[in-house]
Amino acid sequence: MTKLSVNINKIATLRNSRGGDLPNVVDAARNAERFGAQGITVHPRPDERHIRYQDVYDLKKVITTEFNIEGNPIDRFIDLVLDVVPTQVTLVPDAVDALTSNGGWDTIAHKAFLTDVIARFKAKGIRTSIFIDARPEMIPAAAEAGADRVELYTEPYASMYGKDREAAIAPFVATAEEALRYGLGVNGGHDLNLENLHYFAERIPQLAEVSIGHALISDALYLGLENTIQLYLKQLKID
């Protein structure tokens, strides 16, 4: 079954809005795992506006499932990941001032850079994933750069889902199939929610993992974290 990795950035955003340590991100990660999450995702940004670099070190000590660190591989991020050694690093081409992730890598244009960065991570035994748009032509260069997986940027799918889900999913299926042909695993993330997740998981072949934060944490405000995680896990069950 596709693994659910819970992105806890929004927990840190709430904490930072008031100062202090409430809610506590380590406790949130522990509870998410206890309630069934199969991974924890964080995305530290240079301004530390949500997850702080120290949080990453604190979380590494307690996470018992898979730990996924996302981010733009600037020098400070690379040093952090090499020091912490998570299960997986997901390379995201965020601009410094980006509110949230808004696009994937052009793996062709940036292949040399990605090859160098990925080699450094893989030398430490860290699984590497490249965040890409649903464009099959990006797959060969991702494989040549040494990636283990790609993560499909799913915001376009989520935006179009309510209008025409068949058209929305088509480029994602094509990209996933191309990834599998090149021996790459397939992850997905961004704007997946209780409405659109099941269809995505059902249609994407051999979907390894989804990383979900904003929608899941928002749902948890009304439904409770334990119930929400169980509902998301249910959406990932394919008959």
* Catalytic sites, residue numbers: 43, 70, 190
Query: Counting Cβ atoms within 10 Å, is residue 226 exposed (0-12), middle (13-18) or buried (19+)?
Result: middle
Give the pair of three-digit tokens for residue 45: 């940004």
Would you say the C-alpha torsion 133, 137, 143, 145 has a positive or negative sign?
negative
Which H or E run contains 15? helix 9-18
Contact (CB, 8 A) for 160 and 169: no
CB atoms within 10 A of CB 168: 22
Rounded CA-CA distance 15/67 in Å is 21
SS3 at position 16: helix
Contact (CB, 8 A) for 185 and 156: no
Contact (CB, 8 A) for 222 and 18: no
Rounded CA-CA distance 145/143 in Å is 5
Verify cis geometry, omega within 30 degrees of 0, for the bond prior to 23.
Answer: yes
Name the packing angle between helices 225-235 and 214-223 (round to 10°): 130
